[in-house]
Amino acid sequence: MTEIDRSLVLIKPDGYRRGLTGEVLRRIEAKGYTLVALQVTSATREQLAQHYAEHEGKPFYEPLLEFMSSGPLTAAVIEGHGCIPGFRSLAGATNPTEAAPGSIRGDLGRDWGLAVQQNIVHGSDSPESAAREITIWFPGIAS
């Protein structure tokens, strides 16, 4: 039997503003993943700096933090067999224009030109990232 994974999913401010939280959560549950924790929150600079620490110093870092703090977002912890690669596949390519039809970004994303970070969702990219990210957004939950 394979291990059950956990992943952090963020429905970014653009997705929240457009009323897509329910649709994203529906797709997560339809895929067979379980919602372990869920909250609507406004990100602090400290949370975002921790979350995006590997991008500090890159040209898109400050615009990314500005965008991610531009309004409420929905944070979720999901679990299931292979949920990390599974959700990333469900999310689709980072650039909504290149994301496949049927994916969250392919169906719901918009081309914002230079603002590729406005792509509706974030999902952890590895078990290590998931563990680190979950503690940032849900300090009381073990990954």
DSSP 75-133: EEEEEEETHHHHHHHHH--SSTTTSPTTSHHHHH----TT-TT-SSEEE-SSHHHHHHH
Query: Has 135 been labeled as part of a binding site?
Result: no
Query: Has 12 been labeled as part of a binding site?
Result: yes
| Active-site position among 51, 55, 81, 122 | 122
Query: Has 105 been labeled as part of a binding site?
Result: yes
Query: Has 87 been labeled as part of a binding site?
Result: no
Packing angle, helices 83-91 and 21-30, rounded to 10: 130
Query: Has 94 been labeled as part of a binding site?
Result: yes
How many Å apart are CA 65 and CA 138, to the nearest integer? 19
Query: Has 45 been labeled as part of a binding site?
Result: no
Q: Is 51 a catalytic residue?
A: no
> What residues are annotated to the active site?
122
Binding site residues, as ranges?
12, 60, 88, 94, 105, 119
Binding site residues for ATP, as ranges?
12, 60, 88, 94, 105, 119
